[in-house]
Structures are given as C-alpha cells and as structure tokens.
Amino acid sequence: MTPLLEVRGIDKSFGPVQVLHDVAFSAYAGEVTALVGDNGAGKSTLVKCIGGIYPIDGGDIVFDGKPVIVHGPRDAGELGIEIVYQDLALCDNLDIVQNMFLGRERRSGLVLDEDSMEELAAQTLDGLSVRTVKSIRQQVSSLSGGQRQTVAIAKAVLWNSKVVILDEPTAALGVAQTAQVLELVRRLADTGLAVVLISHNMNDVFAVSDRIAALYLGRMAAQVKTADVTHAQVVELITSGRSGDLGIAQ
C-alpha cells in the first residue's frame, strides 16, 4: 500500500535551532495516523511545513505518488490538504453554513447563493453523520466545544479534501464531547480520507488510530501500526525516543 501523503528527509531550522532532523512521515488513505510526541518534539512544525505555512529547508513532499512543492496554504488547499487548527478559527457571530463557506462563498451573480450553500453544508454534515446540531442556521456562538470542533472539521471536509490534519482536536473537550469528536475522526477515515491526528492523549490515540508516528526531539522515532504496540511502548517512544528494538538507534 502506498501512502497518499509522504514526506521524506524534512529538515527545518528557525535560525540556529534545528527543529526537524531528516523527518519521514506517511499518511494513508482510509486510515487515521496519530502523530504523537512530547511538547517541543516538532509536531506542529511538521504539520505547518506540510500545510505550507513554513517553507522547508530540505526534503521532499510526495502527494499521491508525485513529488509536489507547497509554497503556501493555498497550494496545500489545492492539493486537498486541510488543517484544522487548535483554535478552530470560527466566527462566533456567523451561523454554521456561513462559517463553513467563509471566504469561499457560492454566488449567483452578485448575490450569495444561500440555498445551495445550505444544501451542501447539510449534505456534508449528513455525510459525517453529525446529528447533534439543532439547525445549521444556528450561530456558532450557541454551540458547545464539541459541536464547534465538528463544524471546523466539516469545514475542512467540504472542499473535496484528501488529507485532513487535526491539531489536538480533543484538548479542550469533556468526556462525552471527546467521544463524539473521535467518532467523527474515525468516520472521516472510513470515508476514504487520510486523517492525521495530533494528540497528547494516549487513550484517544489508541481509540481511533491505525498507525502511530512518534516524534522525539525533532526526529521520527518510529512509525508503527497501532495494533503492534502497547500503551507503554508508545509512552517510551515519546519520552526517550526508543522502546526495545523500536525507535532511534543509539
């Protein structure tokens, strides 16, 4: 099986500090790949390099078998890579449909085509089997944290995206809402998307992921199948970069 998104030998420095060393990472269509690592391990930097926010110093990004160059968020969007950031970037004073189409509104002539946007938004949410919102014309300010996360994810999925990267989607959520969002993450992958889940929470990672990639101090410690490792092994990979015969060679 070839990965949908593959990065090889990524180097990235900020001034004198090298944050990523020769990082390789793969995400497969139809699977959830968890990207784990301690604070400062380089998870967010790696994601921002893939998303085109930071230019990379060296290495290749291969998308769907073809090498690509990502210069900015727009390039990433055109490839079908969408990133849901931790702060979600939703406008509280707009409703769900308006937020999902923000900046990419459908128009007929000069006028906004509200009806077709509403239909498409409803279809997308339906496709994700989201059942918790009362009306998609509800203002986002009236939604709970989990519902907001759902809207942000649906917004990313709306654009025929192929890879969806979620940055700590459950960090600020309660137990029930976390379950709701994880269920959604699983469903995204089941519809054929390549999902990358950045998380600190081992329970979340083991609940939904198919593969785990562990970063340790800017290096990729290991990329393994979730079924092949234990909780403790992953924690070891995160904290010391190796676990038994897995991890960075000493």
Partner 1 sequence: MNKVKELPGEAIVTATQSPSIANSVHAYIERVRGGDMGALPAVLGLVVLCAVFAIARPAFMTSINVANLFTQGAAVTVIAMGLVFVLLLGEIDLSAGFASGVCAAVLAVTLTNMGLPWYVCVVAAILTGVVIGTVLGTLVAKVGIPSFVVTLAAFLAFQGLVLVLVREGTNISIRDDVVNAVANKNLPVWLGWALYAACVAIYAGLQLFRARKRSARGLVADPLSLIAARVGALAVVAGLLVYVLNLERSRNPALSSLMGVPIVVPVILVLLVIWTFVLRRTAFGRHIYAVGGNTEAARRAGIGVDRIRIAAFVICSSMAAVGGIIAASRASSVDPNTGGSSVLLYAVGAAVIGGTSLFGGKGRVLDAVLGGAVVAVIENGMGLMGYGASVKYLVTGFVLLLAAGVDALARKRAAAAGLR
Contact 128, 150 (CB under 8 A): yes
Q: Which of residues 81-120 bind partner 1 (CB under 8 A)?
A: 85, 87, 89-94, 98, 102-105, 107, 110-112, 115, 118-119
Number of residues that bind partner 1 (CB under 8 A): 50
**Does 130 engage in binding with partner 1 (CB under 8 A)?**
yes
| Contacts (Cβ under 8 Å, ≥6 apart) of 208 | 32, 34, 182, 185, 186, 189, 197
Distances (CA, A) of 226 to 199, 211, 213, 236: 14, 5, 9, 14
Q: Is 207 in the site for partner 1 (CB under 8 A)?
A: yes
Count Cβ atoms below 10 Å from residue 234 Cβ, excluding itself: 23
Residue 1 binding partner 1, by CB under 8 A: no
The region of 33-41, 56-64, 181-189, 214-222 touching partner 1 under the rule CB under 8 A is 181-189
DSSP strand pairing (32-37 vs 81-84): unpaired
Q: Least Å distance between CB 218 and partner 1?
A: 26
Residue ranges in contact with partner 1 by CB under 8 A: 73-74, 85, 87, 89-94, 98, 102-105, 107, 110-112, 115, 118-119, 122, 125-126, 129-137, 139, 141-144, 179-180, 182-183, 186, 206-208, 210, 226-227
